[in-house]
Structure 1
Amino acid sequence: MEVEMLFVYYPRCSTCQKAKKWLDENNLKYTERHIVEDNPTYEDLKDWYSRSGLPLKKFFNTSG
């Protein structure tokens, strides 16, 4: 079974560009979602956080 993921990105971000290149090189299917044009909603963030098991700070750019 092939799973398609949601790739939330900012096109001018070099990290996003590298991630997209890696996804393409590994033939992984994804749907693009431009973070500025289609901001994640509160419900999106709540859902992603609860399913991830990660600390909340991992969802935010704290380096720049």
Structure 2
Amino acid sequence: EIREDDMEFMMSARGWQECIALGNMEGYRVRFEDTAEFFKDRFQEANVIGKKMIEMITRKTSTDR
């Protein structure tokens, strides 16, 4: 399943790469700021999910040894 924010990030990363390849650092800045604005309200939720993912990985890797 592809979530809206996953797709947005993927498209943004490709846009950043294109700006860099063309030497358009102003375009890179504008794209980066637009993406940051899109994700601004999602950071708190992402931190909670990320913490849970790290805890699960830590548990699984410490018990697999």
Question: TM-score interval w.r.t. the shorter chain?
Answer: 0.3 to 0.5
Larger radius of gyration: 2
More strand by share: 1
TM, length-normalised to structure 1: 0.34
TM, length-normalised to structure 2: 0.34
